[in-house]
Amino acid sequence: MHITELNRAVVLTSVSVASRVRPADLARPTPCAGWSVTDLLAHMSVQHHGFAAAARGEQARWEPRAAADPVADYLSASAEVLQAFAGADRPFSLPEIGPAPFPAEQAIGFHFIDYVVHSWDLARAVGTSVSFDNEVLEPALGIARFVPGGAARTRPGAAFAPALSERDGGLLDQILVLLGRSPDWPEPVR
């Protein structure tokens, strides 16, 4: 499966989860330290808008903004990024990741791995689960293994926390621990 199709699958999964979010869920905590469901949806929306703008060769606003209806805003942003990625074939400028443009496939890969994890974050926060086919998780695990570690993961605003201790588990669990998430959230990894 091409990275655009993989990304589409995970974004549509996140849309399915977001569609189940109710107003009472918006203040709930998430696996993203210090973020509520509202904060997570705002982050996910701005990421979609930013990546979509980058795919179109435009400059993006990367600061989250409050939305009157965070779920509706997220659903709209999801449609925008899927449309922008559908024909993306030239390098993207992603200043929040690095100074040089990235090949489209690599840039979409950054988005893809983020939405594997954020789909899980949102699902856990609202008390549901998420599942992906191995056809999605195998390439995601490959990407997760290449995400740089070190001090960058301990800085405020880091995309991912430091990796946790490896453990037995399925592909999604392996991805989560590599990217600093406890598959047992809100319980710690044992």
Q: What is the pLDDT of residue 188?
A: 52
* Residue in 54, 55, 74, 56 with CA at minimum distance from that of residue 65: 74
Whether the CB-CB separation of 163 and 179 falls below 8 Å is answered with: yes
Q: What is the pLDDT of residue 99?
A: 77
Average pLDDT of the segment spanning 42-60? 92
The tokens of 66 are what? 């409050």
* All structural domains of the chain with their residue ranges: 3-133
Interval 17-40: pLDDT, tens: 999 999 999 999 999 989 999 999
The CATH homologous superfamily for domain 3-133 is: dinb family like domain (1.20.120.450)
Q: What is the pLDDT of residue 153?
A: 85
Q: What is the pLDDT of residue 190?
A: 41
